[in-house]
Chains A and B, each alone.
Chain A
Amino acid sequence: MSPSDTTLRDLHVPTPVIDPPDDYLHVEQTLSSWIFTTDHKRIGLLYLVSITVFFLLGSIAAGLIRLSLIVPDGEIFSNDIYNRLFTLHGVIMVWFFLVPSIPNTLGNFLLPLMIGAKDVAFPKLNLLSWYVFVLGSLFTMFVMIWGGVDTGWTFYTPLSTEYADSYVIAAVLGVIVVGFSSILTGLNFMVTVHKLRAPGMTWFRMPLFVWSLYATSMILVLATPVLTIALILLFAERALGLAVFDPANGGDPVLFQHLFWFYSHPVVYVMVLPGMGVMSELITAFSCKRVFGYKFIAFSSLGIAAIGFFVWGHHMFYNGMSPYAGLTFSLMSFIVAVPSAIKVYNWAATIHKGAIRLDTPMLYAMSWIGLFVIGGVTGLMLASTALDGHVHDTYFVVAHFHYIMVGATVVAFLGGIHFWWPKITGRLYSEPWGRISAFLMFFGFNMTFFPQYLLGYMGMPRRYHVYPPSYQVLNVLSSAGATMLAVAYIFPMIYLIWSLWYGERAGDNPWEAKGLEWTTTSPPPKHNFHHMPVVDFEPYDYPNIAPEK
């Protein structure tokens, strides 16, 4: 140290004043500023943490299921434990992870940013929604881990009402409570999109992610109450003796299934639609090109949400429902595939003549399209009545909906998290590790679930902990794939958390993407924008000629 330095210090030269960061992460640091926050970005992070915990729990259950199925004779877990495990896995993954996954984390964070609003329409309701979610889901978790529920996540009567010897009442109550959280979020998003758009933000200037969130919210608002009432009737029958479905008195257990699937099929689109929205953002950003057929994609989201309500009976072809109803539902299911196909073709056309960067989010996007398409076309097979007679309730169905729910929702969720991570945290993650994880995810996923298609066509019924030995090779293969999949989940958790401290600073727009959320700082200030935006540009206005590298 040179003497001049010491003299300078001794002269009490004031240290340069650094403005404390005023972004939403740092503006207040107390615990109560987090748990009583009404800031949609912080609530999004609260949700992110909660659903990650549930995802871990659900994955552990899945891992134990795959472990058990390595041997055909059910020696690893007893029937009761196995049944409780897959019920736990189903309930957690559907209601505590997939339904809130993209809408409540990325959606909460991005919706106001993307339409240029300061917050969602009802910030307090938004926080209430998180509390309701946490209370309901923790209660259900407690019940399912300490007591156990062995009805499957579908709670079919009369197994759930009379015969199951487990804690159905409490679990059903918890799921009803979590339903209110979905309703509040959906309500909030719908009203926000209608009423809080920035000046100039017309409907056709909204990002496609917002369109898909709107369609998702529509489903949440219109479908969740029917689940609530179905479960209330179940609760009344089991807990209070107010039987409505009881076959011993002439009640119809199929009616419960009608009510249940009126919710539970549309809710599949709650899982997929936000994923499709994320895809539209990723593909345009990494093709550096305006999306092909904006209006078709936008309206196809609404189309899926609406037609999705007409198809629930394709879960019920062989349960004694009238064959004419079966044919009606089958036809509607063929129709609902149309808007999904539109999207896929339009994304392919978007890539054409773009300037494509194969960064981590784009890798997730590409694998998303592959997995979603496989899941989608096998869905068409399942919608074909007679074919469903063979593969219904087999591993074919299991593989199909995992291609949709994991392949489409989880991959989109991870892709979206990677894409917006710099915006959320202001940091960049390690790109090489990101790419490795994306590849692992794709291969691990296919290795886990493709064999299940074969198993299903071979005739292995689902929810079997004991199975004929000739199915073992494919089961072992599937379990091996599951370990790879587990690694692909753990990697991002590690390097994303690592990046919080050691990641490079991201800057406002590391991907050179378009959209209002990239015009503000990373992380955004508490009220999202330093100057409230006025929108006078079209969505995805990428330059017509790709930038020179």
Chain B
Amino acid sequence: MTMHAMSAIEPTSPPPGVLAIRADNWRLAIVAGLALSIFAALTLPASVSFWVVGVAAAMIAAAFVVNAYRRRYYGGLLVAPAIAVLFVMNIFPLLWSLGLSFFAYQSNQQSIRFVGLNNYIKVLTNEIAAPGNWSALVNTALFVVLTVSAQMMVGFLLAMLFAKQFPLRKYLLILVLTPMMLSVVASGVFFTYYYDPTFGILSYVMNAITGGQFILMDSKAGAVAGIVFADAWMWSPFVMLLVLAGLVSVPKYLYEAAAIDRVSAWRRFWSITFPYIRGLLMLALLFRTIEAFKLADLVILLTKGGNDTMTISYHLIRIANEQNKTSEGAAISYVMLFMVIVLTNLYLYLANRRNQES
């Protein structure tokens, strides 16, 4: 790990070597702290290892602050509180489970032993365990593609509707924003009602039209459509809000200039409007993709994974929580993390390339 703080003001003294034992040598503190933490988390009982990790974190933090203060590395000082909270609440638990993924451990049993990469090999290739993982991954990919593109499209179209100023805009906008404020439990449970073949509105309407018995959720296509519709309905407003913010930030005189220059609507969109919303679209895409990978609650509520709608995140809940196969779950989650990282990096790479081209 290399990290070198820069500042507008030159450092007042040279930074210490990595191995120098000084109060401001945060590099050594991080290395030592991490090593100590991982060691403690894996070997000592939880109640002891927590304190070891706490001490390590405090040591790193102290070294960090002393160093930053001495050299006026304001960047480090500013970032430190957030990193500290993230480290304790998020990064440490993540490292803990990363560590566990190399052990055979079930949380409801008291034994633990090191197995190296066996968990990963198991979740990816084992005759019994792997097919479930792979099909859940394929389904997840399907959901990510469908729900994210649906959200991006619907969100974009809604934003276009609201781009202009018109009477009552404010009141209509809040109506469209409301779905994302609902709790997933409530909206998911109500979608089971909307889709219910006996009581639901959808079947009532469809039956009245076709005269038959309409059952949305009895096929994979229907079940996927039902889940994607509910998810996209809830989260398109998120995309819309970001896109709308981009749209309203386009200066009006650019559109006037385009009118004077007799620019076609198509060209106007791509050369003027799109550059203003591209960054926001990317942010929306990034966060919605990450969330779509975690899609589980709606699946649990609407299909319980039936009709081949099992997602990796729900699968993970079953493995890690219901069946207590903690380390196997950790391995699956890190495989999943790897995929999300690859995908998001691909987005960012493409976005940056586009930036540099234009």
Co-complex (A, B): no
